[in-house]
Structure 1
Amino acid sequence: MGSKAAVVVFGEAEPKRIFRDSAVIDRVKSQRLAEMVLGATLHEADFLALDLALWPDSGMVCAASLPEYEVVCSRELARRQPSELTEWISQVASGRDAYAVFMHSAEDWGAFAIWSDGRLVRSLSVSPDSGVIEDVGERLAFEVPFWEGENSVRSGVGYSLPFHPIDFGNEALREFFGFILEGREDESCVDPEEVEIPAFRAV
């Protein structure tokens, strides 16, 4: 399956523990959140494990409204330039921070972004074919080892980046949300197969 993700999390604080702490999901608010993505009436289809919910089928949105955070996953959100989402993020966030990770292993592309109070703080999008697609704001601490060559591509003859976008995307998932899809887990990582998110499909 590889690593595929299109996830945005809204909250008042850094969401690294969001999937570790048990919390009741508000199904009504979750459906409203999902409908804001597609702009259509949806009905609840089922629950999906987080590793699958990160890249749901076309026409489906996975969303969870929790007491401190809201999570939404949809391939409709995936942008090679995450800054294009700023207006939508500002509307949905209502003053909260937002964290996003987008990647698709078949396209060898990865991106992440952070917004604060509706303003884009940091965005990075990379692929070996296009190089650096978007680079806005100051680099975060977790990025530094990648740019300094500590995670270089082993078979990187002619590779246009100093690291693999999917490795980078998984590290962004770990940094922001406390789990990974591929790579080396540590004691802080949640198993994404053990977390479930409501899925909503167009009527």
Structure 2
Amino acid sequence: MCSEVPMGSKAAILVLTDERPEGLFRGAVGWDRTRSLDLAARFLGGTPRESGVLPLDLAVWPEDGAACVASFPHFDVVCSRKIARDHPSDLVSEAARLAGKRSAYAVCMESSEDWASILAWSPTGLLRAVSLSPRSGVIEDVGQKFPFEQPFWNGQRPVQASSYRLPFHPIDLGNEALRYFFGFILEGKEDDLCVDPEEVEIPVFDPS
């Protein structure tokens, strides 16, 4: 089957954890307000102001300048449009600064451009950085591909239009990255292990 272009998937999410990333949000129960504020301050600078909460499906793409930040028991999450980089490897220094001795995973995408990027980093170095869009082609492709990527690169998720510059839609890849790393998707077919992102809340912080 040829996929259609998904509409409305926008995300810029960075997760910091010392555990395996698969399905992290499936175990997300309550965030620590003090640690969340501290992380928001480290990311935004100054003294951020908490201005409310958003469900995860909206928190992954907050308003310009704002950040959705939460510190859960086993991982931290930062969502901000500042995370969205054409070259995800450019995010490594920021991810390393926030992660410390933990690993970092980022998924960014913008459906209006059918663009997606993925970053995986550990204290030992860069594991994976991939970014692509039909306008720019493959922007970056570094490191070993994750299992969820293989069907895309192997031609099992083809695009119907023969003139399309890529063999698959990056937005489809981005949603599968969300599923694999974090246990939720914005669009596509949910499986039994997917968390409903409308049921997970993330606080919103505005810069001072």
Q: TM-score range by the shorter chain?
A: over 0.9
Conserved? CA contact 1:5–1:101, under 8 Å: yes
Q: Deviations over 1:107-126 (max 9, x none)?
A: 21001110011621101000
The yes-or-no answer on 1:196 pairing with 2:201 is yes
CA shift, 1:127, in A, is: 0.3
Partner of 1:26: 32
The yes-or-no answer on 1:134 pairing with 2:140 is yes
The yes-or-no answer on 1:113 pairing with 2:119 is yes
CA shift, 1:22, in A, is: 4.2
**Aligned partner of 1:187 among 185, 188, 192:** 192
Looking at structure 1, the residues matched to 174 and 87 of structure 2 have their Cα atoms a distance apart, in angstroms, of 14
Looking at structure 1, the residues matched to 169 and 131 of structure 2 have their Cα atoms a distance apart, in angstroms, of 12
Partner of 2:21: 15
Looking at structure 2, the residues matched to 106 and 18 of structure 1 have their Cα atoms a distance apart, in angstroms, of 27
Looking at structure 2, the residues matched to 110 and 189 of structure 1 have their Cα atoms a distance apart, in angstroms, of 20
The yes-or-no answer on 1:76 pairing with 2:47 is no
The yes-or-no answer on 1:153 pairing with 2:136 is no
CA shift, 1:168, in A, is: 0.6
Q: Deviations over 1:94-136 (max 9, x none)?
A: 1101111000001210011100116211010000111100011
Partner of 1:122: 128
Looking at structure 2, the residues matched to 81 and 22 of structure 1 have their Cα atoms a distance apart, in angstroms, of 29
User: What are the ranges of 5 or more consecutive residues in structure 2 without an aligned counterpart?
Assistant: 1-6
Alignment of 1:26-105 (within 5 A): 26-105=32-111
1:170 maps to a residue whose letter is N
Identity of aligned residues (%): 54
TM-score by length of 1: 0.95
Looking at structure 1, the residues matched to 112 and 28 of structure 2 have their Cα atoms a distance apart, in angstroms, of 33
CA shift, 1:188, in A, is: 1.0
Partner of 2:173: 168
Looking at structure 2, the residues matched to 6 and 47 of structure 1 have their Cα atoms a distance apart, in angstroms, of 17
TM-score by length of 2: 0.93
Partner of 1:178: 183
* Residues matched between the structures, number: 202
Conserved? CA contact 1:86–1:118, under 8 Å: no
**For residues 22 and 148 of structure 1, do their structure 2 counterparts lie closer, same or farther at Cα, with a shift above 3 Å needed?**
closer
Looking at structure 1, the residues matched to 196 and 49 of structure 2 have their Cα atoms a distance apart, in angstroms, of 27
Let me know the Cα RMSD of the aligned residues: 1.3
2:202 maps to a residue whose letter is I
